[in-house]
Amino acid sequence: MLATAAVLALVPAAPALAGTAQTTPSTTNSPADLDALFIGAHPDDEAFSLSTLGQWSEDHGVRTGVVTVTRGEGGGNAVGPEEGPALGLLREAEERTAVGKAGVRDVFNLDDVDFYYTVSAPLTDQIWGDDTLEKVVRIVRQTRPEVLMTMDPAPSPGNHGNHQQAARLAVKAFYAAADPKAFPEQITREGLRPFAPSRVFLGGGRGTSKSGPDCASTFRPANPAQNVYGVWSGRPSQSQGRTWAAIERDAQRAYASQGWAVFPDVPSDPAQLGCDFFTQVDSRVPFPEPGSAAATAPTAALDGALVRAAGAVPLGTLLDLRPSTFDVRPGAAFTVKVTATAPSREPLGRSAVTLRAPEGWQVSGSGDLGRLAPGRTGSATFTVTPPKGASPGVRARVAATLTTDQGRGYTDRQVEVSPAVRGRQQLLPQVDQYEKWAADLDAPQLRGLVTPVLTLPSGGARQVGVVVTNVSDAPQTGTVRLDLPAGFTADRAEASYSALAAGASTTVQFTVTNSDASLKTSNEGGDYAYTITTTTSADGSSVSKPALELVPKTSIPQAASAPAVDGVEGDGEYTGPALDISRLWEGTACSSAADCSGTAKLAWHDDTLFVLVKVKDDVVGTRLPASDCKRHWRTDAVEVAIDPRGTSENTSTTFKAAVLPVTAEGPPCFERDADNRQGPGEQTAPGMRVASKVATGEYTVEMSIPMEVLPGAVDPEHLGLNILVYDSDTQDKTGQTRIGWSTWGGVQGDPYRWGVATLPGYHPPAGRPTTPPDPVIPDTGLSSLDSPQSLEQAVRLGLPLAGGPAAKASESGRVTAATGARDAVKVTLRAGSAGKAHLFVRDDQGTAGSHVVTVPRSGSTTVSVPLTRATAGHPTVVAGWQAPDGGTLASQARVR
């Protein structure tokens, strides 16, 4: 995929030596200069790309750094009680150990908060704030990597919202770092220069491939116009004598706090090992032509940016292709401009470009660029006309080949064939927001990565809107037709629209009903695909293929009297149906009903909801202490999720409570997690009660939930509801299986995929608000000032901390001397102004003492750092300085 955003003030990569063989990247004298940069959200996000980074480092001298937006403080801990900043310190250490196995030394933590698991990029953006992009851009300008790598920016089902947002930051930074108008104070005040990375990639690839050494050449992308490159993990390391897949697995096991220490060995047969795949988003330089040998080489993602293939143009050559529009019309001409720029110190000589389009498309225009001297640019404009019979909705590749006296280059971009009018199913809020993000970025080829889906309750009905957009330059009139699968009906098969203005959109509404309530729900039934055909008299019709997803539905009866919350089903307490909560959600399938299965019953009385869950479980998981109740996913647990109005975009406006049926102390515990207000149940859900009965091979959990603790008044006609069971058969704080009522990937974060419940006869109390209160979001993260490993890296690289600005010279403070004694180290600081110093005594064994001191004025200050143990070999003091304006500086001194 290739973006079409404008590029300003390009700073090309420095050219490397030309030659007929591949050459390794050039380096500068700057200790902060990088060749590649991976941008993720948490420690371990890079963990499935490490076999590639290791190969590039060992074979080609590629120096890679990792940006980690958060330290993962919101995650679990399988190795100890640490949480919050202490867990962040632990996870940073794990990450530095892990990436070090692939030759990566530089990890840049941005200090943003890791609040809880969410699949919402909008919520993530809200919590992280506007300055996160600024920090990413600053690091790109400081480290000047030619290649950026990141994650999936799309709200694909189950894709972590933090991952989506990290990827969007990376892609935006690819353009913003090159633009002097973006964060100009970094240039005018901090002395940084705009920098244009050469290529940017998303991790993974949508498509299919075979395992073994041919995994790259056998990859077939779902979108044939996409450029996806693979690096086989089965290659052996020259220095370690094992496959890079095995080395990567060792690195992944370093994330013990996440339960990864128990990951199994990778296959010993290299033929069973696959590729790491990378999908290109954009490139400012030539890259390997699809189908060529270079495109399947391990260096394919580096070519043109860091590595020069045989016969290729010199490094530092820029090559760009710009269609005048992404949406091209059958039979309508559009223009394509191709621009080539010679490296700043090397001529390309006589140069020309040829343009290629799909078979049957017409191309006209001259590609002569003349002679390109060092730093000179030449351009050519072509006219391209798709045939009148071009298939609508198809992505096509328009490609240019550059021929020069110094070698050849290739580039391409996607366009999409579109008739005058197209129709698509209304989008979910997260998907709609993503599509607008791609449009604002001017990267239309990033749109459409998520199949549009809508849910409806089993046997129920809903409104389905079809958004009709006129992409032509004249008003249009036509029809919209739905072709639904068996078991679904609509109030009308076809509807019309008329006089739709050029560039305008309208929504055509249908009422769709699940007429066959016996169809399977959740992931057991999967997507029920159907077809939308939108016609117009102008140039044919467009066809889109969205899907409907069924979620289970139930009716919660009113109880004659309040059930006793005792873990036992009393006579007449629960008269409603038993819900099947045995569907596999995630993990290993239950080996039998005795291994893991369950049912749930619900009732309501007065203003309280009652839930009774019976679980078959033949092995009891780790008995966690009640103080560790929040880590319900690491052992046996029951989770109840409630969306009061059934309309939540993410879980910040819902209620989610998990119950451990048994703890180390014995009685059950409960805690709210990843919802409107998290924390111990007694504090966050006052009045809620839980009880359990545990017997051999089974347990029962019962709870009462006052509906006043829910974030908003219940809609008795459409309550979002889910009940999930976590099953662990080990004592190592790792879960193996998750089952539930409504089961989809990432369903705990996607309220729209929860089941639907009605409460006949229930009316919320008058005056109870329907709008949820603002969520309480954890905001405690580790500061890099309190991370000695981050401070040591900042000293080594000569950079400020956490992607922030450096302290002004007049406000800087640094350690100038350190003298050791038995119980303390005396440290001398020199400061240009008042500020705060974070001091750590470090040696070969780690941290031996720490102290934070406020320095009230400029000048020299001597402080004592108490030791927690005697120092070992090579003791130093590393200091982090925070200036009054927020700038930072790291310094270090030997202990004498």
Average pLDDT, 10 consecutive residues per value, the chain (896 residues):
29 32 52 97 98 98 98 89 93 98 98 95 95 98 98 94 98 98 97 98 96 97 96 96 97 96 96 98 98 96 97 97 95 97 97 97 98 98 95 93 98 95 95 96 92 97 97 94 98 96 96 98 97 89 95 98 97 97 96 97 98 97 93 95 97 98 97 96 97 97 98 98 97 94 95 98 96 91 97 98 96 96 95 97 96 96 96 96 95 97
pLDDT score of 7: 27
Comparing CA positions, the residue from 132, 24, 327, 128 lying closest to residue 778 is 128
- Say which CATH topology domain 553-758 has: Immunoglobulin-like (2.60.40)
Which CATH number is 318-417 given? 2.60.40.10
How far is it, in rounded angstroms, from Cα 404 to Cα 286? 13
DSSP letter assigned to residue 270: G
d(CA 198, CA 377): 17
Q: Residue 172 and residue 179: Cα distance in Å, rounded? A: 11
Q: What's the pLDDT score for residue 3?
A: 32
We find that the CATH architecture of domain 36-296 is 3-Layer(aba) Sandwich (3.40)
Q: What is the CA radius of gyration of the chain?
A: 30
pLDDT at residue 28, as a whole number: 53
- Indicate the Cα dihedral angle 559, 726, 740, 651, nearest 10°: 80
| Domain coordinates in residue numbering, the chain | 36-296, 318-417, 421-551, 553-758, 805-894
User: What pLDDT shows up at residue 26?
Assistant: 44
Measured distance CA(725)–CA(658) in Å, rounded: 9
Give the β-pairing of 488-490 and 207-208. Answer: unpaired
147-150 and 199-203 beta bridge pairing: parallel
CA distances from 440 to 195, 433, 657 (A): 21, 10, 38
List own/partner pairs for 362-371 with CB under 8 A and 24 or more apart: 362/387, 367/338, 367/400, 369/340, 371/347
d(CA 233, CA 236): 8
What per-residue confidence (pLDDT) applies to 778?
86
Task: Indicate if 553-758 has the same CATH topology as 36-296.
Answer: no
Predicted confidence at residue 247, as pLDDT, reads: 98
**Residue 877 φ then ψ, to 5°:** -115, 125
Helix (H) or strand (E) holding 231: strand 228-232
What tokens does 222 get?
Answer: 């779902």
The amino acid present at 125, given as its one-letter code, is D
* Cβ-proximal residues to 100 (8 Å cutoff; 6+ apart), any chain: none
- What's the 3-state SS for 544-568? ECCEEEEECEEECCECCCCCCCCCC
CATH superfamily of 421-551: Immunoglobulins (2.60.40.10)
**Which 8-state DSSP code applies to residue 271?**
G
Assess contact for 221 and 20: CB atoms under 8 A: no
CATH 2.60.40.2550 for domain 805-894: yes
